[in-house]
Structure formats: C-alpha cells, structure tokens
Amino acid sequence: MNKLRITLLMVAICSICQWSTAQNAEMSRYYNKSAGSNAPLVEDRDEKGDVKTDNNGKVVYKEVKKDSYGNAQGNQYDLAVDGAFEGQTILVLQLYAETSFDFKSPEKALKEKGFGVYRYIGNPPTAGQLKKDLEKSCQLWIISDSYSKLDDDHLKVIKEFFDSGHGLYIWGDNDPYYADANKVATYLFGGEMTGNLMGDNPVGIQVDKKSPGIREGHLITTGLENVYEGITIATITENQDLQPLIFGSAGNLVTAVYEQNGKRCILDGGFTRLYYKWETAGTDRYIKNAAAWLVNIESLTMKGK
C-alpha cells in the first residue's frame, strides 16, 4: 500500500511539473522575460561580447538603456510580446467625446501588441447590441462622461461579461466626469471615485504603500519607473476589494485594480492621459501593459484554453 501511495504521489508530482513547464512555455508566447520588473536588467558583456562574471563566478548584470523619462527603452521591456494578441478586439465605449480625444495614440500603441479597437463615441449601443459586440471582444473599456448614459440593461450585460472572466477598464476623471464609471464600479464591486485634484506630474515608484507613485512589481507596471498621472484627476475610494496601483502626486489613489475569482478590472480616475501629454512618462507602455493584463491569459492558460 505504501509503495502504491508513493507511486501515485510521484505520478502526481511529474504531472504538475509537466503542466507547469507547459504553462511557462505558453506564457512566454504572450509575456516578455522581464514581465513584472519595473527596472529590468541585462547581462553585462565585455568588448568580445562575452558575459561578465564577478570573482565568485556569478553573472554581472547592468541596467538597460532608459528613455528621457527614466523608463526602460524598447518594446522588449513591455509586459507583452509585440503581436502576441493578434486578432483580439478591445471594445471601447467612449462616452466622453471631446473633439481632441480621438483615441489615435492609444489605438496605435495597442496595435503593436496585436489588439484591434472597436469604438462607440458619445453614446453606447443598445444593451442587445452591446452583448453581441462583447461576444467578439476580449475586454471592455468604459470612458465616462459627466452624466450617465448606461441603463440597467447595460449593467447586466457588462456584469455577465465581467463574471465570465473578461477584462474591464473603467475610466473616469475629475468631478463630474465619473458618472458611469461610478455606476458600473458600484454595481460590480462597490468601487467609487470622487473629487477633483490637480495632478499634471510624473510619479515614480512608491517609497512606501501610501506614498505618491506606482506599485512596484505588478505586471501592469512592467518596465515603468515613472508614469504620468493625468491633469485634473479624481480620487478612488479605497476598499478591501481594490488593490492600489498608482497614487498621484497629491497622495490620492488614482488607479486601482480588482483581481478576484478569476476576474480583472482596472478603475482609473485620470482618463485625460489617454490624449493629453501622451508622450509624457510611460503612458504608451502603461496602456499596452494594462490591455495585456486584462486579457487574463493566466486564467485562460490554467483552464487549458
């Protein structure tokens, strides 16, 4: 009996190891090697191109080349491999429709990772049409206006999509531009944003959990040591279901993530950075990372999809 138990245990261990190896191989199709590292390092090499080692024979690493804002330079330091999500569609409900907000910069950045964008501008489709569109989408982005445009039927469709494991990015901005952001977030997990604070600064990596800056080590902040916070921004009310991601220069929580029961959502109080000062401190990479994270490929891989 003991021999049988040992044999079964060994078989189980081997199966787990094989599954883990297969999962890692699958993940490497989507994520770069530096995934989760804010300040990636590379092997240092001598003039001959050989890897340098120290006196103990350990490999010597150095910081990668950085851009003018102090972030790792090159798409290989994004979270996702270029083209990894070819054929995946992001559905955007851009309810705030200022003329200068044409979404061209985010769309161009997302295309690098393979994402296509289908966008409604100003008003949402009917709940029935939204349901049909979401059947062809990997995630939904909602960019709120100053008054609500989503009804109860929209909320039910969004919840069904979210509960099935699809990603959701909820964008608001300074008071009162978070009407539907709060409506959706409250309906799904009790999320809320309030207020109007001046930002307009890049923030670095947090010194501690409550200081201004970005959370270190999260997949969304891969390759980011500095990121632009937006102009006038809302503050997210902290609760037990939300994990802080970005604290603004005024010490307010600008961006938080929901990650429970195989579901992922980002709640953000600064949608202005989608079109204002786009070239400032890491917005391009941040958007690409956020979209890649919202695909929730880890959950899909575990399910064997």
Q: Any idea what the CATH number is for the domain that residue 284 is in?
A: 3.40.50.880
| 54-58, 200-204, 296-300: range with highest mean pLDDT | 200-204
Distance, CA of 123 to CA of 142 (rounded, Å): 11
The model carries a pTM of: 0.89
Contact 64, 74 (CB under 8 A): yes
Pairing relation of β-strands 89-94 and 116-121? parallel
10: helix, strand or coil? helix
Is 25 inside any structural domain?
Answer: no
Q: What is the pLDDT of residue 302?
A: 54
- Which tokens hold the place of 269? 């109080």
In a domain, 156, yes or no: yes
* Nearest CA among 285, 289, 232, 242 for reference residue 263: 242
* Beta-ladder partners of 90: 117, 139
Domain that holds residue 179: 75-302
Spatial separation of the C-alpha atoms in residues 138 and 88, rounded to whole Å: 6
**Residue 15 confidence class, pLDDT cut points 50, 70, 90:** very low
pLDDT of residue 304: 52
Residue 57 has pLDDT above 60, yes or no: yes
**Average pLDDT estimate for 213-221:** 96
> 227 - beta bridge partners?
203
Compute the distance between CA of residue 265 and CA of residue 291 in angstroms, rounded to an integer. Answer: 10
In a domain, 5, yes or no: no
What is the pLDDT of the chain when averaged over all its residues?
Answer: 91
On whether the CB atoms of residues 177 and 188 are closer than 8 A, the answer is no
Decide if 63 is inside a domain. Answer: no
Answer yes or no: is 157 within a domain: yes
Query: pLDDT band for position 5 (50/70/90)?
Result: low
C-alpha span between 79 and 247 (Å, rounded): 21
The torsion angles phi and psi of 47, rounded to 5 degrees, stand at: -60, -25
**Rounded mean pLDDT of 222-249?**
96
Domain assignment present for residue 187? The answer is yes
Give 207: exposed, middle or buried? Use CB within 10 Å, 0-12, 13-18, 19+.
exposed
Distance CA 177, CA 274 (A): 14
- What are the two backbone dihedrals, phi and then psi, of residue 42, each rounded to the nearest 5 degrees? -130, 160
Q: What are the pLDDT digits (tens) for 44-54?
A: 888 888 888 88
Q: pLDDT band at 84, cuts 50/70/90?
A: very high
- Span 236-261, average pLDDT: 96
Condensed to tens digits (0 to 9), the pLDDT of residues 30-49 reads 999 999 999 999 898 888 88
- Is 2 part of a structural domain of the chain? no
Q: What is the pLDDT of residue 210?
A: 82
Strand partners, 263: 260
Per-residue pLDDT tens over the stretch 147-181: 999 999 999 999 999 999 999 999 999 999 999 99
- Determine which of 21-30, 164-173, 265-274 has the lowest per-residue pLDDT on average: 21-30
Residue 9 has pLDDT above 70, yes or no: no
Task: Sheet containing 263-268: give its strands across.
Answer: 116-121, 89-94, 139-143, 167-171, 263-268, 253-260, 243-247, 213-214
Report the pLDDT value the prediction gives residue 46, as an integer from 0 to 100: 86
Q: Is residue 141 part of a domain?
A: yes
Total domains, the chain: 1
